Amino acid sequence: MIWAVVPAAGRGARFGGELPKQYLDVGGRPLIAYTLDALLSHPSVHGVMVVIAENDRFWRGMDAVAGKPVLTCSGGAERADSVLAGLNALPDDVRADEFVLVHDAARPNLAHADLDRLLDLGCGDPVGAILAAPVRDTLKRAGDDGGIDRTEPRERLWRAYTPQLFRRMQLSRALAAAQAAGVAITDESMAMERQGLRPLLVEGREDNFKITTPADLARFEFVLSQRHR
C-alpha cells in the first residue's frame, strides 16, 4: 500500500477568481474531491496527505474514504515547497525507502488504468517513474514580437503529468537540495534528474489534464458528463 501526497496549496492565479481552482464546484462537489476519489478508490493507495495553503479557509475536511486516512499539512510558496512539506508530514511509519505518489490536486481525471501502469512499472524501477505523454504537435519558439522565431525539434519530447512516483527519502533529499541551490523545480522528476537520476517515462492518457484555465474546467465538466451517459 502506498501513500499519495497531493499538492493543493496553490492560488490558481492563471485561472483567476477569488476561489482557488481546486475548490471550484463541479457537479456539486469541489474539484479536489474528484482527485482524491481517484486516488483513494485505488486498491494500492493507503491514504493521502493533502497539502493546503497556510491560510486556506476553503478546505472542509474529508472523511476517511473506505477507512483510508485523509491527512492535511500546510504548504509553501512554491509547488515544490508544498510537496516537500507533504513528504515531511507523512506518518513516521512510512519508511524512507517506500515509494510515494505525488499527484496534483488540479488533475482530477486520473484513470486507474494509468495508475496501475505507473505503479507496475515504477515500483520495479530503481529510481521511480512519471506519467507523461509524447508531444504530438509541432512546437514553435515565440519571438518578442509575437512572431515565430523557429520550429523546435519535437523528437523524444514528452509532456510530464502526475502522479509521479519516487522513494520518500530520495525525493525529499532531491527537493531539499534544489531548494538549497535556489533552483525552481516544476515537477518531482526534475529534482531527481538534478541528482543525475533518470526516472522512467510511463505513457498516460491525454485526458489526465491539469485544470489551469477556465477552458480546462469546461473540458473536465464535459468529460464528467460523458462518464455518466
Ligand X SMILES: C[C@](O)(CO)[C@H](O)COP(=O)(O)O
Q: How far is the CB of 86 from ligand CTP (least distance, A)?
A: 8
State how beta strands 158-167 and 45-52 pair.
unpaired
Q: How far is the CB of 153 from ligand CTP (least distance, A)?
A: 27
Q: How far is the CB of 210 from ligand X (least distance, A)?
A: 5
* Residue 212 found at the interface with ligand CTP (CB under 6 A): yes
Residue of 37, 44, 58, 78 interacting with ligand CTP (CB under 6 A): 78
Residue located via cell numbers 520550429: 151
| CB-facing half-sphere around the CA of 204: CA atoms within 13 A | 29
* Residue 22 found at the interface with ligand X (CB under 6 A): no
Q: What is the DSSP string of 140-175?
A: EEEPTTSSEEEEEP-TT-EEEEEEEEEEHHHHHHHH
As a whole number of angstroms, the distance between CA 139 and CA 219 comes to 23
Our CB check for ligand X shows the closer of 68 and 210 to be: 210
Our CB check for ligand X shows the closer of 95 and 152 to be: 152
Indicate which of ligand X, ligand CTP, none lies near residue 162 (CB less than 5 to 8 Å, by partner kind).
ligand X
CA distances from residue 161 to 68, 150, 225 in whole angstroms, order as listed: 25, 26, 23
Q: How far is the CB of 149 from ligand CTP (least distance, A)?
A: 25
**Is the link from the previous residue into 163 a cis peptide, with omega within 30 of 0?**
yes
Residue of 187, 191, 199, 209 interacting with ligand X (CB under 6 A): 187
* Residue 9 found at the interface with ligand CTP (CB under 6 A): yes
What would the grid cell of residue 145 be?
514580437
**Closest by alpha carbon to 52, among 70, 72, 71?**
72
Our CB check for ligand CTP shows the closer of 148 and 223 to be: 223
| Binding flags for ligand CTP, 32-61, as an x/- string (CB under 6 A) | -------------------x----------
- Within 8 A by CB and 6+ apart from 93, the residues are none
Element (H, E) at 229: none
* Residue 104 found at the interface with ligand X (CB under 6 A): yes
Q: How far is the CB of 215 from ligand X (least distance, A)?
A: 15
Q: Which residues bind ligand X (CB under 6 A)?
A: 79, 104, 160-162, 186-187, 210
- Judged by the rule CB under 6 A, the positions of this chain that interact with ligand CTP are 7-15, 22, 51, 75-79, 82, 104-106, 210, 212
